Amino acid sequence: MNSYPAPALARVEEMVAAAAADPARAVSFQGAPGCNGHRAALEWNGDCLPLPCFSFEDALEAVKDGRADHAIIPIENSQHGRVADIHFLLPESGLFIVGEHFMPIHHALMALGAGPFTAAYSHPQALGQSRVFLRSRGIVPMAYADTAGAAAYVAELGDRQAAAIAPRIAADLYGLNVIEDNVEDAADNMTRFVLLARKPLDPAELASADTMTTFVFEVKNIPAALYKAMGGFATNGVNMTKLESYQKGASFAATTFFADILGAPGDPAVDRAIEELAFHSKELRILGTYRQERARG
C-alpha cells in the first residue's frame, strides 16, 4: 500500500477497508482508484466493492487468499496488443477465467499546469495507445505502474511541466486540470478484461450460452508439432479466435501458446479437438470456460 503516491493513499485505505468487511463482494484490480481496472470492475458489477492492488500479482493474490471473490485483469487491447506479463501470470496463478468484459478506453492528458509539458506519465499500455499524440507534441512518455497512479504521482510531484495520461475521473480525484480529452490514437480503442475466480464454471451450466474456452499448451519438440496439434480444430470445425506464443524460461527452447476457442468441453467436437491437442502437447491447461460478452466471427 505504501507504494501508492500520497494523494491516492487515503482512497486506497478506504476501499481496502470496505472490501475487507465484505470480501464476497470484492473485486480486485491493478492500479490506483480511478484507473481503467477500477472502471471495469464497476461496469461489470455496479454493486461490487473494488479492491485496488499495486501490481497484477497483488490483485491475483487477493483472490487466492480470499480477500476478494474475483479479480478483473486487462488481457489485450485492440490498439496495443496483449498486456505484458499477463500470459505468464494467469497460468501460474491457479485461478480460473469465469468471464470477460470489453470496455472502450478513452484517455485524457491532465496536469497541474497548462503546458507546455516535457513528460507524460502513465502505464505503458496507455502510453502506447497515445504514442502518436505524444510524439506530435514532443512530450516524452514516462512509464508508471498504472494510469490513475500516474495522475496521483503528478499531483504529488508538483512539477507543472509534467502531465499524466489517465481516465478523466483521475483528474477529479487528484486535483489535476484536464488539458485535452480523448488523446488515444484510435477512436475505437478497446480493452478486453477477464474475470478470475478460485473455482471454474461448470461447462454443463453454460450449455445454452455462447461460450469461450481459454487454455495454454506447450507442444512436443518434434517437427510439425504445432501443425499437428492444430489439425484437430480444423477437422472438427472448432473456431480458434486467438493463438499467441511466448517463451517459457530463458532457454528459448520451450514455446508456450495461449489460445481462445469458441465452445466448451462437453461439446463432442471440442472434446475431440482438445484430445488431439493433448496428444501432441507436453502440457495442456484449461484456464476456463465462460460466456462470451461479445460475439466472435
Catalytic site includes residue 193: yes
Give all strands (DSSP E) within the chain, no chain letters: 26-30, 49-53, 70-77, 81-82, 96-104, 108-111, 119-122, 140-143, 162-166, 177-180, 190-197, 211-219, 240-247, 255-262, 281-291
Amino acid in position 158: G
Q: Which of 56, 133, 191, 289 is catalytic?
A: 191
Task: Find the catalytic residue in 193, 215, 217, 258.
Answer: 193
Cell numbers of 293, please? 460478452
Measured in degrees and rounded to the nearest 5, phi and psi for residue 139 equal: -95, 130
* C-alpha triplet 296, 83, 229: angle, nearest 5°: 55
257 is catalytic: no
Distances 49 to 63, 238, 252 between C-alpha atoms, Å: 13, 37, 42
Cα dihedral 38/43/44/47 (nearest 10):
90
**Cα–Cα distances in angstroms (integers) from residue 166 to residues 120, 123, 137, in the given order:** 10, 9, 17
CB count in 10 Å sphere of residue 279? 12
Do 117 and 163 meet the contact criterion of CB atoms below 8 Å apart?
Answer: yes
The rounded distance, in Å, linking the Cα atoms of 73 and 67 is 16
Give the active site residues.
191, 193
